[in-house]
Structure 1
Amino acid sequence: MASAPEIYTRFSSSTDNYYNIEDILASQEKVPVKTELPMYHLGFLNSSSDSEHILPGAKMELPFWLATGLCSRKRKIVSVELPKSYRAGYREIFTADPNVVDLHKMGPYFYSFGTKLLCFESTESDDIARSLLQTFVGRFRRIMDNSQNALNEDITKLMTKLDEMERSLFRAGQQSLMAFQQWETRKMTKMAASDMVAGHRKRKRAMMEDGD
């Protein structure tokens, strides 16, 4: 049976892709790390220190793409900690009511970035993956309902709390509804035209029969 991280990775469309803008931007999100080995002449990476070198035990934040290179099975120069938004306390909030959470404020690429965090193989990876799935499923219906019921309204407020993937779904929902309405309008127009033609033929036939 597949683990939660494997299931979520299959579910997510945000796989590593050099040409995917969302993937690139998600990789820029920062993660808290602690140095395990000295990092000489790299003090500039730690904005909270003026030292030329970074000593073991130093805590700082690094972009995800850099942290993955410094924390691997072959070399563990830093250890990675979970960003606050993915820790147990926030996961409990998501479980209680995912719709009240402002995901965009927590990170515009909440799902994409959360998926990336699974690569660190934390003891909480299963819980994170499960939380991401449950949060998405719990918010999906309201997102689609709002997209269908706010076609001619100002959608700014509705989209404020959505992460970028959810915003794409919202826009896709509105586009599909508009396409359906346009199709329905064309269908009704064709039916009306067909009825007019049929009525005209019926009247013409009746006139010809009366003439006989």
Structure 2
Amino acid sequence: MHLQSAYTPNYFAIDDILATQERTPCKFLVNVPKLGVKLNPASEKDDIQPGTSLELPMWLVQPLGSGRQPVVSVELPRMYKEAYREVLKADPNAVDLHKFSLYFYELGAYAKEFDSRGDVAEILLHSFKGRFRKIMDLAHNTASDSTTQDSLDMLERMLYNDGHKARMKLNAWLISSGIPLVAANMVINHRKRKRVDIEDII
């Protein structure tokens, strides 16, 4: 996959960079000196005190919230919380995933690390499996326009565009080739051999 559209983890991927800009609620567990004003311009103290709640980008939350001694406790981004998961469980095709998040699956790959119950990983798989048939159906039967992709996240848009281009190339080849499709010699010979075997039995 190309660097500019590669999915997690890829330091040089534009999609990965944009997805990890999403801010995530977290609470500091320890005192962090000299970063109070830098991470929170509204703060009057130089240090970040334990118990301070901030929204930080996922690229920063991931190293701070993981490891044996995490600096922050991390909440799930709102689109992966129970209320949203229930909607996706009911019917993932009825959801405008674009409004949930432009990088729903990409961000979810990071968010699932902070979900000890595994609900986020489950809903990501459930949503993708439920929506994949719709995406492929759109790619094969719908003209390529922006309104078709309005409810898709960036990964789904990439799949839709690739599927639509492949369908257009196949249609162009079928029209321009002018070569009738015939059965392969192996298939013809197999049918003849089968006919001979039946005649021998009779």
Q: Any residues of structure 2 matched to 1:29-40 within 5 Å, and which?
A: 29-40=22-33
Partners in 1 of 2:151 and 2:32 — Cα distance? 39
Paired with 2:147 and 2:169, the residues of 1 have a C-alpha distance of 24
Structure 1 stretches of 4+ moved >4 Å: none
Equivalent in 155, 160, 173 of residue 170 of structure 1:
160
Cα distance, 1:58 vs structure 2? 1.1
How many corresponding residue pairs? 174
For the residues of structure 1 that align with 2:44 and 2:31, how far apart are their CA atoms? Answer: 15
- 2:151 corresponds to: 161
Question: Pairwise mapping of residues 23-172 of structure 1 onto structure 2 (< 5 A)?
Answer: 23-43=16-36, 44-120=38-114, 122-124=115-117, 126-151=118-143, 155-172=145-162
Name the CA distance, whole Å, in 2 between partners of 1:113 and 1:156: 23
Q: Aligned-residue CA RMSD in angstroms?
A: 1.8
The whole-number CA distance in structure 2 between the counterparts of 1:48 and 1:185 is 65
Larger Rg: 1
Q: Aligned equivalents of 1:102 and 1:49: distance in 2?
A: 37
Which residue of structure 2 lines up, in the alignment, with residue 187 of structure 1?
177
Q: Are 2:15 and 1:22 equivalent residues in the alignment?
A: yes
**Could you state the TM-score of these two structures normalised by the residue count of structure 1?**
0.76
Aligned to 2:189: none
Where in structure 1 are there 5+ consecutive unaligned residues?
Answer: 1-12, 192-212
Letter in 2 for 1:116: Y
- Rounded to whole Å, the distance in 1 between the matches of 2:113 and 2:81 is 16
TM-score normalised by the chain length of structure 2: 0.79
Stretches of structure 2 that go unaligned for 5 or more consecutive residues are: 1-5, 181-202
Distance in 1 (CA, whole Å) between partners of 2:42 and 2:85 is 29
Q: Is the 8 A contact 2:98 2:152 kept in 1?
A: yes
**Greater relative contact order (Cα < 8 A, sep 6+):** 1
Partners of 1:186 and 1:138 in 2: CA distance:
35
How many angstroms does 1:53 deviate by?
Answer: 2.3
8 Å Cα contact 2:24-2:58 kept in structure 1: yes
SS in 2 for 1:67: helix
AA at the equivalent of 2:140: Q
Provide Cα deviations, 1:105-131, integer angstroms capped at 9, x if missing partner: 2211110110112233x223x211111
- Once the two structures are overlaid, the 10-residue window that deviates more, 73-82 or 130-139, is 73-82
